[in-house]
Amino acid sequence: MAKLRQNIAVKSKLSSTLKSWLPILQSPINELEEMLGKISEDNPYIEIQSAFSTSLQNKLTPLKSPQRSMHSAKNSIGDKIELLTIYEKGLIETLEEQISSPLFPTQRSQQIAYAIIGNLNSEGFFDCDIQEVIQDLQRDGIECDEAEIERVRKRFCHLEPSGIGAKNLEESLVFQLDISNLEDTDYDIALQIIRNLEQHTKFKKYKNYEKIMKVIRDFRRIPSLDFQEDSCAVIADIIIIQQNNNIELALNDSYYPSMIIEKPKLKNVEEDSYFKTKLKEARDLVDALDMRKATIRKIGLMIIEYQYDFFMGGEIKPMKLKDLADEFGHSPSTISRAIANKFLECNRGIFPIKSFFTTAIDGDTSNASIKEFLSDLVNNEDKCKPLSDIKILELIEKKFDLKMVRRTITKYRKQLGILGSSQRKRMYAMSI
């Protein structure tokens, strides 16, 4: 019976520690001190000593925002993976979630809509060669013409972000006008202003001119602007130290605050139930911080074990998030949240931890391998005749001996920040 009571006590202690452990684990390292401060602000036993007492200037590692242009041949794989994984939901995913009834009631209209999304440029405009889209759809067994594609594309005026899918700025503004609150004559005047923006002052005599101009000024000029990420600072949780063929793991302890438990200088503290509770909470919080360190270390060791070839200069191999979840006895969604916004630093650069959990496309082929090959193809393409997405698809299918659809290639290309073939051709011409 005594042993049973002891087991129950241990289990109870572990459970209370876990309640603190999960939010602490999920917190980014640069927000950890602030979070611990909020949790412990009413606890008289805890003193938190800041880890930010030294200059942040020497510790922060700048992370450049994804570039919306072609990658040069000098770009590292770190830059590419960073582009793919630092933000969980991008423009393409946001749009694809909206491709459903009633706007796109049939499977045919939905497939055409997906093809349109796959051919948007980095600003959210549809400025590609429409014949390529027709060929892509034919490969998927859909015979259609330009008129049908246009009918589907015009429905994009009802999608968010507003103005997406237009061919140019003027049409994007018209898309946004169509869903605005302007009606009747105000709408007609606004339409004329949009088509003559440089001469909009000639409409000043119209009584609602200021009202209309205020609405137009609020329209997006770049539909995808909200998805063009700002630069930010990244602090790695895990540091991989490599010397020759030896790999060692270190935690970035310099950003962990110190937690000290001190008894309040009051009489009869030990007998007061309030202080007893607070003392227990303080000890649980210290245990939870230690568990965070142990968990991050274990995740790092698993990554080294699974991705050893990558650290030696090879490619990232397929690694399932479920493997990590099973190891810790939590659901994949919990572990996914836990490793979000956490980074690993090694000789090859700084990587989001999530980037090491790539999806296996076929056997030992990961989507990271596909994207790496795609980037190499573009970096070495004929500048006078850039590779179309269809040609890239053919080369990838041949290289990896698998079947894919063109819109997947287009999606990967956009995630890498690589322009379409027609846009690349114009850029190459300008650089000659």
- State pTM to two decimals: 0.46
Amino acid at site 64: K
Cis bond before residue 352 (omega within 30° of 0): no
Q: How far is CA 181 from the centre of its chain?
A: 33
SS3 assignment, position 207: coil
Task: Let me know if 67 is exposed, middle or buried by CB neighbors in 10 A (0-12, 13-18, 19+).
Answer: middle
Residue-by-residue pLDDT tens, the chain, 432 positions: 444 344 434 334 445 565 667 778 878 887 888 888 887 778 888 888 776 543 333 333 333 333 333 333 333 434 433 333 333 457 887 898 899 888 899 989 998 998 898 888 878 899 888 888 888 788 778 899 999 999 999 999 999 999 999 998 899 999 999 988 888 899 999 999 998 887 888 898 899 999 999 899 889 888 887 776 543 457 889 999 988 778 899 998 878 888 888 776 655 555 567 778 888 888 888 888 888 888 889 889 988 988 888 888 777 777 777 777 787 777 777 777 778 778 898 888 888 888 787 655 444 456 777 888 898 899 899 988 899 988 999 898 888 777 777 888 888 888 888 888 888 887 777 655
- Residue 225 φ then ψ, to 5°: -55, -40
- The pairing of strands 238-243 and 343-346 is parallel
Q: Do the Cβ atoms of 170 and 195 come closer than 8 Å?
A: yes
The closest alpha carbon to 164, from 126, 109, 216, 134, belongs to: 126
Q: Quick count: other Cβ atoms within 10 Å of Cβ 223?
A: 26
Amino acid at site 154: K
Those residues with Cβ within 8 angstroms of residue 126's Cβ, 6 or more apart along the chain or in another chain = 116, 119, 120, 153, 165, 166, 167
Q: Do the Cβ atoms of 101 and 158 come closer than 8 Å?
A: no
Q: Quick count: other Cβ atoms within 10 Å of Cβ 311?
A: 17
- The pairing of strands 238-243 and 246-251 is antiparallel
Which token pair is 316? 């990232």
